[in-house]
Amino acid sequence: MILSESAEEMLEALWLEYEANKRTDCVLSKLRESPDARTLKELSDAGIIVCKNPDHASVTEKGLAEARDAIRRHRLAERLLTDVLSVKGELMHDTACQFEHHLHKGIDVSVCTLLGHPKVCPHGKPIPPGRCCEEESKTVKPAVSPLSSLKPGDLGQIAYLYTADPKRAQMLISMGVIPGADVKLLAGFPSFLFELGESQFAIDGDVAREIYVRRNSAA
């Protein structure tokens, strides 16, 4: 279902309310954002809310699922922006608000997988799990996690580098640590030792936390 941006913002506000009070009834004027008449109509037409009187509404079951997905997209967008694109602070929030609208069905799954099915947003709020996350927890499907979280013997493929220092990314890429390359962790203590092609590289924990690897299920 494609809703307007303001309707999506409303969905998020409804979810926040539900998250806080565990109730589907709400007072519209007390929400984070109070809707204008047009948005309200859009939401009730879509069967997301049922308006009891001008200020009271109740979220339908379908509406709750939509709200959950909306907040999931928002928080995934925040994760993507902070973890991969290193966008910070105020800018991150504003960008996330625009970004989330592009994360519709399918894309949110790719982003979630890319990020390794994160559980919380950068502010520590839970990201409602999607179907991809449930499947992930049942079968160990390729997921993205930092090299530092691998165990010796684990195999994987470099997914992306997330370094605070662009010089360091340049150095790693020059050495061959490039997305798509196959790696195998050989030792994780006291520092990290991994195999790439026929070479071995030693890195410290800080660097190992910046190399994200898509884990191969056959370890």
Partner 1 sequence: MTHEIPKIAIVGSPNVGKSVTFGCLTGRYVTVSNYPGTTVEVARGHAKIGGVNYEVIDTPGLYSIFPATEEERVALNLLCETRPDIVIHVIDAKNLERMLPLTFQLKKLGLNLILVLNMLDEAQALGQTINTSKLSDELGIPVIATVAITKQGTDQLQDAIQKQHEDGIRTHEHHPVPQFSEIMMRRWYGRAREIAGRVLIKTERSRVFSRFDRALVHPATGIPILAAVMYFFLYKFVGEFGAGTVVDICETGFEDHINPWITKIADSYVPWEVIKELIVGEYGIITLGIRYAVAIILPIVGLFFLAFAIIEDSGYLPRLALLLDSSFKKIGLSGRAIIPMVLGLGCDTMATMVTRTLPTRRERFIATMLLTLCIPCSAQIGVILGLLSTTPNVLLIWLVIIFGIFAFVGAVSARLLPGTRPSFVMEIPPMRLPQWKNVLTKTFARMEWYFKEIVPLFMIASVLIWLLKVTRAFDMVTRWIATPLAAMGLPASAAKAFIFGFFRRDYGAAGLYDLHKSGAFTNNQLLVAVVVLTLFLPCITQFLITIKERGWKIGLAISIFVLGFAFSSGVILNIILSAMNISL
Binding partner 1 (rule: CB under 8 A), the pick from 203, 213, 214, 215 is: 203
E strand intervals along the chain: 25-27, 49-53, 56-59, 144-146, 155-161, 182-187, 192-196, 199-203, 211-215
Alpha helices, H only, 22-125: 37-45, 61-79, 89-99, 107-114
Q: Which is nearer to partner 1, 141 or 184 (CB)?
A: 184
Q: Counting Cβ atoms within 10 Å, is residue 106 exposed (0-12), middle (13-18) or buried (19+)?
A: exposed
C-alpha atoms less than 13 angstroms from C-alpha of 56 in its C-beta half-sphere: 4
From residue 167 to residue 186, what is the string marking binding to partner 1 with x (rule CB under 8 A)? xxxxxxxxxx-xxxx----x
Q: Which is nearer to partner 1, 31 or 84 (CB)?
A: 84
Q: Which is nearer to partner 1, 106 or 190 (CB)?
A: 190
Q: What is the closest distance, in whole angstroms, from the C-beta atom of residue 135 to partner 1 in the complex?
A: 29
CA 70 – CA 166 distance, rounded (Å) = 33
Q: What is the closest distance, in whole angstroms, from the C-beta atom of residue 98 to partner 1 in the complex?
A: 24
Q: Does 197 bind partner 1 (CB under 8 A)?
A: yes
Q: Which is nearer to partner 1, 22 or 151 (CB)?
A: 151
Give me the residues that bind partner 1 (CB under 8 A), please. Answer: 165, 167-176, 178-181, 186-187, 189-191, 193, 195-204, 206-207
